[in-house]
Amino acid sequence: MWRSAARRTAQIRRLLSSSAPPAGAGAAVPGPCIVHKRGNDILHDPWYNKDTAFPMTERDRLGLRGLLPPRVMSFEQQYERFINSYRSLEHNTRGEPDSIVALAKWRILNRLHDRNETLYYRVLIDNIKDFAPIIYTPTVGLVCENYSGLFRRPRGMYFSAKDKGEMMSMIYNWPADKVDMIVVTDGSRILGLGDLGVQGIGIPIGKLDVYVAAAGINPQKVLPIMLDVGTNNEKLLEDKLYLGLRQPRLEGEEYLAVVDEFMEAVHARWPKAVVQFEDFQMKWAFETLQRYRNRFCMFNDDVQGTAGVALAGLLGAVRAQGRPLQDFTNQKIVVVGAGSAGIGVLSMAKQAMLRMPGIHRTGEGHNQFWVLDKDGLITKARKGLDPAVARFARGYGPDEIPDLPEGASLVEVVKKVKPHVLLGLSGVGGIFNEEVLKAMKESDSPRPAVFAMSNPTTKAECTPEDVFKHVGENAIFASGSPFGNVSLGNGKTGFANQANNMYLFPGIGLGALLSGARHISDGMLQAAAECLASYITDNEIRKGILFPEVSSIRHITARVGAAVVRAAVAEDLAEGCCDVGPRELGSMTESERVDYVARKMWYPIYSPLVSDK
Ligand SMILES: NC(=O)c1ccc[n+]([C@@H]2O[C@H](COP(=O)([O-])OP(=O)(O)OC[C@H]3O[C@@H](n4cnc5c(N)ncnc54)[C@H](O)[C@@H]3O)[C@@H](O)[C@H]2O)c1
Ligand SMILES: O=C(O)C[C@H](O)C(=O)O
Ligand SMILES: [Mg+2]
């Protein structure tokens, strides 16, 4: 499997490696269009605005002459100018506190986003490794925390509890005729920062920026949405500047009625749009997923996207030990955090184990997992367990090996279990402390793996420095937010992998869209995870590299998207899209499908705004 995957990877990398402009850029560029706006309306429309790069013909014919300085700049000059001002901002803020620098960087990017989308997305795509930490985790967390103060102009749509009965008409207030991709949150669990109410809108905005950069979704066709059903965050309720509803969160049927109405409105206007649920607290994450997944083309990124990324990492950890993949069924995995993400990971990992040869011996009862939440190890003795969590509860008492009591502490569990993998999705920064990591050194694995997946950086369970220092140089590390690699001396590097659902959600969304999937099945998600797992070569894995560089995110997304399309067609869920039907999608070879997906990606270049005919 891995050899053919490596061959495929090489082929795809060749196919996609001419990066500027990438494969498909030409094909996705719309032909000359006549814009119906004129003058300042064009300059103030970030989609059409070219700032100083409007050629004279367009200045004449669109009423722009005199509204701009006379010199016509090229796109390349504008690009360079922006990058230079970004670099001088970096230089000038050296020594300032991290949060001040991060917010200053976010502001300069946000201003460009507001002004000129073409230039914004080009700098984002070309510099995604540098800019992802600003528009996405960790800075997006800081932006959400300060959103009411930072607010200057709206982006996306806001549906509040006060809009009950109005949503079907409100949805038509959105100016774009076509929307392909929606990311919606209710702000109830923003990263590991808790309930941020309406301020959580920063997350859908950041996720959709990643969609444009990674999946080439046309930014005119994305829609970030906030469902404001109130907040239980006392600090925000008391904050005079807070921009959301100042009321406690709706609960029960009242809550679901708002989400139902919203989903119906979206579906009525854009029946083929893919809806990604993001950062909902656990109870609503699971409830809405069950409620909508067979009715709409939707998925929950925290439950399902995260699961696929973690599974790819877990399989990588098996390969790093030089073991065959089937050995996954013997891996001992300690998961810290039994929330939407933790349970999503456990469910997908368990499904993957059950598919592996030999496992039928033990079947459903096979439990290679030890799961802890805020009350310690979860065992069958725990009262009132959510059924989704109960599946992973350990037995307890002398029959259980090792013998661990209900509520056992993390360090006790790690010492006794000696796990191959310690995976954190707890939202508790630093919980993998020195004692825990030193216990991980006694792991039964020759390459103990520590995944500190909580976001943002302050909530990471540990740092790569901690891991390579306390667990050892042969350890493997991955985190949800980016960290730098660690120099281990003697020219050796300890790799800080980023295990973030950004490696999968863009491909899941794009694949669902291009296949015209009626809904998003487990098979499609599994195909996405397997594709990501096979992206990394054995040589990289040996070095401790489990995930690709963020800079290759478009290549990865093209492959993941193609895998999702293939699975949708195979399961007869595909209805096709853009004149390409399911039969045609199904008859493509794997590399043709990847090529097709890559060609459908939007790429930012200035299009002519007047026809020269
Ligand atoms: N890397 C990624 O791609 C990715 C994806 C999704 C979520 N996350 C991160 O995972 C974290 C959790 O997300 P979630 O949606 O599961 O949240 P959640 O609120 O649903 O679950 C949090 C879980 O952690 C447990 N917990 C809290 N304190 C603990 C402690 N001291 N010890 C052990 N367990 C403890 C809680 O009991 C709960 O089970 C967040 O920080 C989020 O940013 C990362
Ligand atoms: O937003 C991220 O960076 C990943 C994930 O969706 C999270 O909620 O932490
Ligand atoms: Mg999330």
Do 469 and 378 belong together in one domain? yes
Query: In the structure, what pLDDT confidence band is assigned to residue 139 with cuts at 50, 70 and 90?
Result: very high
Query: In the structure, what pLDDT confidence band is assigned to residue 28 with cuts at 50, 70 and 90?
Result: very low
Tell me the CB-side half-sphere exposure of residue 268, using CA atoms within 13 A.
12
Cβ–ligand 2 distance for 526 under 6 Å, the answer: no
* pLDDT (0 to 100) of residue 612: 72
The mean pLDDT of the chain is: 93
Q: Which of 302, 304, 503, 553 for a ligand 2 pocket mutation test, highest count of atoms within 8 Å of Cβ? A: 302
Judged against a pLDDT cut of 70, whether residue 23 lies above it is answered with: no
* pLDDT (0 to 100) of residue 359: 64
Number of H helices, E strands in the chain: 27, 14
CA separation, residue 416 to residues 282, 400, 405, 442, 477 (Å): 29, 12, 11, 10, 21
Q: Pick from 499, 532, 562: which residue ends a domain?
A: 499
Mean pLDDT calculated for residue range 389-416: 91
Residue 279, annotated as binding a ligand: yes
Q: How many angstroms does the Cα of residue 480 sit away from the middle of ligand 2?
A: 7
Q: Which atom of ligand 2 is nearest to the CA of 302?
A: 6
Q: Is residue 605 part of a domain?
A: no
Higher pLDDT, 10 or 496: 496
Q: Which residues are within 8 A (CB) of 174 and not within 5 positions of it... i.e. 6 or more apart?
A: 157, 223, 269
Mean pLDDT calculated for residue range 225-254: 97
Do 99 and 7 belong together in one domain? no
Pair 280, 188: CB distance under 8 Å: yes
Do 425 and 537 belong together in one domain? no
Do 324 and 418 belong together in one domain? yes
Query: In the structure, what pLDDT confidence band is assigned to residue 261 with cuts at 50, 70 and 90?
Result: very high
Residue 278, annotated as binding a ligand: yes
Cβ–ligand 1 distance for 504 under 6 Å, the answer: no
pTM for the predicted model, two decimal places: 0.94
Angle subtended at Cα 605 by Cα 269 and Cα 535, rounded to the nearest 5 degrees: 80
Higher pLDDT, 358 or 178: 178
Cβ–ligand 1 distance for 502 under 6 Å, the answer: no
Pair 155, 205: CB distance under 8 Å: yes
pLDDT in tens, 79-117: 999 999 999 999 999 999 999 999 999 999 999 999 999
pLDDT in tens, 119-134: 999 999 999 999 999 9
**Helical H segments across 295-445, by residue range:** 306-320, 340-355, 387-390, 410-417, 434-440
Please say if 535 is a catalytic residue: no
Query: In the structure, what pLDDT confidence band is assigned to residue 36 with cuts at 50, 70 and 90?
Result: confident
pLDDT in tens, 165-174: 999 999 999 9
Query: In the structure, what pLDDT confidence band is assigned to residue 492 with cuts at 50, 70 and 90?
Result: very high
Do 212 and 360 belong together in one domain? no
* pLDDT (0 to 100) of residue 4: 46
Separation between Cα atoms, residue 432 and residue 421, nearest integer Å: 12
Pair 21, 29: CB distance under 8 Å: no
Judged against a pLDDT cut of 80, whether residue 193 lies above it is answered with: yes
Q: How many angstroms does the Cα of residue 322 sit away from the middle of ligand 3?
A: 32
* pLDDT (0 to 100) of residue 357: 80
Q: Is residue 186 part of a domain?
A: yes
Q: Collect contacts of 152-157 with beta carbons under 8 A, ≥24 apart.
A: 152/114, 153/114, 155/201, 155/205, 155/224, 156/201, 156/204, 156/205, 156/223, 156/224, 156/225, 156/226, 157/223, 157/224, 157/225, 157/226
Separation between Cα atoms, residue 67 and residue 39, nearest integer Å: 8
Q: Which of 185, 209, 301 for a ligand 2 pocket mutation test, highest count of atoms within 8 Å of Cβ? A: 301
Do 439 and 541 belong together in one domain? no
Q: Which of 140, 345, 346, 453 for a ligand 1 pocket mutation test, highest count of atoms within 8 Å of Cβ? A: 453
Read off the CATH number of the domain in which 225 is found. Answer: 3.40.50.10380
Cβ–ligand 1 distance for 258 under 6 Å, the answer: no
- The rounded Cα 595 to chain-centroid distance in angstroms is 23
Segment among 53-57, 95-99, 395-399, 451-455 with least mean pLDDT: 395-399
Query: In the structure, what pLDDT confidence band is assigned to residue 66 with cuts at 50, 70 and 90?
Result: very high
Q: Is residue 610 part of a domain?
A: no
* pLDDT (0 to 100) of residue 360: 57
Judged against a pLDDT cut of 50, whether residue 22 lies above it is answered with: no
Residue 579, annotated as binding a ligand: no
Mean pLDDT calculated for residue range 419-445: 98
Q: Is residue 539 part of a domain?
A: yes
Query: In the structure, what pLDDT confidence band is assigned to residue 7 with cuts at 50, 70 and 90?
Result: very low
Domain that holds residue 64: 31-126
Q: Which of 120, 136, 255, 606 is catalytic?
A: 136
Nearest-ligand number for the alpha carbon of 344:
1
Mean pLDDT calculated for residue range 506-535: 97
Judged against a pLDDT cut of 80, whether residue 347 lies above it is answered with: yes
Mean pLDDT calculated for residue range 311-330: 96
Do 241 and 363 belong together in one domain? no
Do 418 and 457 belong together in one domain? yes
Read off the CATH number of the domain in which 555 is found. Answer: 3.40.50.720
Q: Is residue 611 part of a domain?
A: no
Q: How many angstroms does the Cα of residue 206 sit away from the middle of ligand 3?
A: 10
pLDDT in tens, 561-587: 999 999 999 999 999 998 999 999 999
Higher pLDDT, 440 or 34: 440
Do 584 and 490 belong together in one domain? no
Q: Pick from 252, 269, 296: which residue ends a domain?
A: 296
Q: Is residue 376 part of a domain?
A: yes
Pair 93, 101: CB distance under 8 Å: yes
Pair 289, 320: CB distance under 8 Å: no
Q: Is residue 513 part of a domain?
A: yes
Q: Which residues are within 8 A (CB) of 257 and not within 5 positions of it... i.e. 6 or more apart?
A: 164
* pLDDT (0 to 100) of residue 367: 87
Do 514 and 558 belong together in one domain? yes
Report the complex ipTM: 0.99
Torsion of CA 536, 542, 546, 549, to 10 degrees: -70
Judged against a pLDDT cut of 60, whether residue 27 lies above it is answered with: no
Judged against a pLDDT cut of 90, whether residue 467 lies above it is answered with: yes
Judged against a pLDDT cut of 90, whether residue 396 lies above it is answered with: no
pLDDT in tens, 212-222: 999 999 999 99
Read off the CATH number of the domain in which 93 is found. Answer: 1.20.1370.30
Q: Which residues of 523-548 are buried (b: 16+ CB within 10 A; e: fewer)?
A: ebbbbbbbbbbbbbbeebbeebbbbb
Backbone angles phi, psi at 101, to 5 degrees: -65, -45
Instruction: State what percent of residues in the chain have pLDDT above 90.
Output: 89
Please say if 136 is a catalytic residue: yes
Query: In the structure, what pLDDT confidence band is assigned to residue 356 with cuts at 50, 70 and 90?
Result: confident
Q: How many domains does the chain have?
A: 4
Do 476 and 382 belong together in one domain? yes
Do 88 and 179 belong together in one domain? no
Q: Pick from 296, 316, 341: which residue ends a domain?
A: 296
Which residue lies with its CA nearest to atom 7 of ligand 2?
Answer: 191
Separation between Cα atoms, residue 536 and residue 191, nearest integer Å: 27
* pLDDT (0 to 100) of residue 363: 54
Q: Which of 207, 221, 350, 418 is catalytic?
A: 207
Q: Is residue 609 part of a domain?
A: no
Q: How many angstroms does the Cα of residue 427 sit away from the middle of ligand 1?
A: 4
Q: How many angstroms does the Cα of residue 186 sit away from the middle of ligand 2?
A: 14
Nearest to 316 by CA among 536, 502, 474: 536
